Structure 1
């Protein structure tokens, strides 16, 4: 769950290792119930957006992260999210720990907080059309 990684999910709520931000927000049973039963379906197909099923959640997440104040030291890097489901943006990438992945580009700070996210969708990825004007020579 984010930056802190315990070997078991229950440790986030255990009395000795609990994280108050997590344990005071919701109970463990409520979290596992939501995690096990959350299913996102919208049969409206948009050919220009390959992540149309989860776009509302992705937009809420990225809009909220854009409200955070940027740190002085940031970097852009790619993140590979392992995935075995049926979706059009699954890519087979050689020489990776998990060859079936969804590739994302993240803007992160030195503290590990994510400030922006772009899901790579092949040719139809929503990039800025003129990176030279937006970012200068480093944007090419």
Structure 2
């Protein structure tokens, strides 16, 4: 540390003009652009990770892309509810299973966090609704 301080004290600021040439500034700019581009691409690489959300009220184990739940994973809520399946940009999206601590479950397709498409809802009393769901609501074929 002392060597660094001594070196910094001996630098003559009049010599800095020789370092600030057009060529040096251009090389520095290109290097900065490359570093920024590299950080964008590296931030998009999927990794397996465990995340604690909402001060520990939710925990996620699965694939993370750009600090968001994306890909296959499991989200467990503080009250015991659990979702296992596909995520996209931090939201249930794709095929998955939501199991409620109260005893009901939904297995099927999700879109933007809502049951959407083909699925199967099993209530607490074991009544089964199977078919098409729109905006989270079962669509009766009759």
* Length-normalised TM-score, structure 1: 0.21
Structure with bigger strand share is 2
Larger Rg: 2
